[in-house]
Structure 1
Amino acid sequence: MGERATAKVIEDQALAWVARLDREASHAALEAELNAWLEGDSRRRGAFLRAQAAWMQLDRAGVLGVSEERETRRPSRRWLVTGGAVAAAVGGVSVWGVARGVLDARIRTVRGEIRRVPLEDGSMLAVNTESQLKVALDRTMRRVDLERGETWFQVAKDMARPFVVVAGDVRVRAVGTAFSVRRHERGSDVLVTEGVVEVWSANAPEHVRRLSVGDHAFVSEAMGPGMSQSAAAEIDRRLAWRGGDIVLDGDTLGDAVVEFNRYNTRQLRIEGPGLASEALVGRFRTNEPEAFARAVAVTAEARVLMDDEVIRISRL
């Protein structure tokens, strides 16, 4: 029996496969070779999905270290899925592909899961914890119904097919841009990270507001969009969940606990007066409430008691 490959070797092989699939035209022999490689070691499929995710997020110079003068392209969508739709957890973040030709899909994330979804039209979704949505693409419109939760949309430009997000009675329309929508009980928060979007409510269709890059607005289902606010300085912090992080910059402990509890079955609880208003600064992993609690214990001079279901934070 040959020597077992190291994890580093497998990761390098996976990146090489993604680059090769981007270069070469699809043919049966190449697909068979890829499938044989994937089946050769149980670790390879996860490495391949991680390599796909990196390729989607970075250009080839950033991923493979090649000359910046070389042409950079997104991976061919035909290779985003092998053997149908594939889903695999990768350090709390999943990569899920919609195969070419599939124009409709229902997507659901469980607590703690963050999923990246490449669409058939070239768009990319990042779906946050405990979210549910339906994608429907046709020749005249691209529509996503956000039934609950939060999603960031990176929309491929297609002037003939507007991209519309429906969140209850809230509507967000774009052509080629990037923005996030977080649904609440009576409306949705919209944050624009690239380009321009239009927002309105089906109950007040005459009240349409345009939001540009860096803008944030709450769109009420009953009244439509409120005044937009500049959130440019906070975009990275507000959307840090896409990388599995929570970034605190003066947030109260009470607000931080609410955010952590969105991602974890082991819930944080604050006990005792005054502690919830403590201001915090730091970057934490969404799935590490224990590390967060230990940091609070030091900075806020608090006591932490843990069991299998609850992490209690109280005054010393």
Structure 2
Amino acid sequence: MMQLHIVDETSPLKAVVLGTAESCGPTPTVEEAYDPKSLEHILAGTYPKEADMVKEMHAFAKVFEKHGVEVFRPSILKDCNQIFSRDIAFVIEDKLFHSNILPDREKEFEAIQYILDKIDPNKIIRPPEEVHIEGGDVMPWNDYIFIGTYTGEDYPDYITARTNKEAVDYIREQFPNKKVKSFELRKSNTIAKENALHLDCCFQPIGKNKAILHKNGFLVEEEYQWLVDYFGKENIFEITKDEMYHMFSNVFSISPEVVVSEKNFTRLNHWLRAQGFTVEEIPYAEIAKQEGLLRCSTLPLIRA
């Protein structure tokens, strides 16, 4: 049996599900776009090609192998985009939560069944139907669980609003010993630079006490300020609207010392190295066109 264990975002990674870009299907139609960034690229004729995305994910897998991480890949479904495994499930402590995702993505969860079979079934939890939650909005951080949400009355109008108030209450009930802290995110169905699809699109802890942050991703200034105070201004890399659009906050930590980043993130990668991190740079710019990057493509199962 596999013993799941995730209490933060950066402890040394032992096992992870990395999505796959194989057989990801034709370019979606305008009606099928789930987010404004994909829509932009569909309209411009620059939507990423499968072969390029397969290559980028292969580079990511190589980095995991180099660092001795056990990598699982989903079973390949024909013509199905299975890149973003973070959306379909997430682990907190020793429990795996099956996200209530957009209904037509349910088969993506079935494609990791062979991995789930290695886990105690009592540790696999499906939240009730009214709980909308995706892994990109959930970040365990020691005593805390940070959750991105949107609780406006117009929540149903936003296909980009993925985690609701019921989800925050639900996680609070599941982990009474943790402090659950939620953050209201800015949503837009049409303007990519004004849309924080998930919490990890505008914030991510790295190392032991540092963070990448984008102020405009947060609707409530006090909530943004809470993070600044918690991590300390000197430990924060504040990204611009343009950098948020290119997914600068969506890097991925293999350990407190090692961060996987996109090779074009020059300003960020320079800062990370200046802070003493080892930066594993890989090409991921094509996948980024779908408003998801490195953290979105991973589902960590075990961190030491």
Tell me if both proteins adopt one fold, taking TM over 0.5 as the criterion: no
Give TM-score, length-normalised by structure 1. Answer: 0.30
Relative contact order higher in (CA < 8 Å, ≥ 6 apart): 2
* Structure with more of its chain in strand, by fraction: 1
* Structure with more of its chain in helix, by fraction: 2
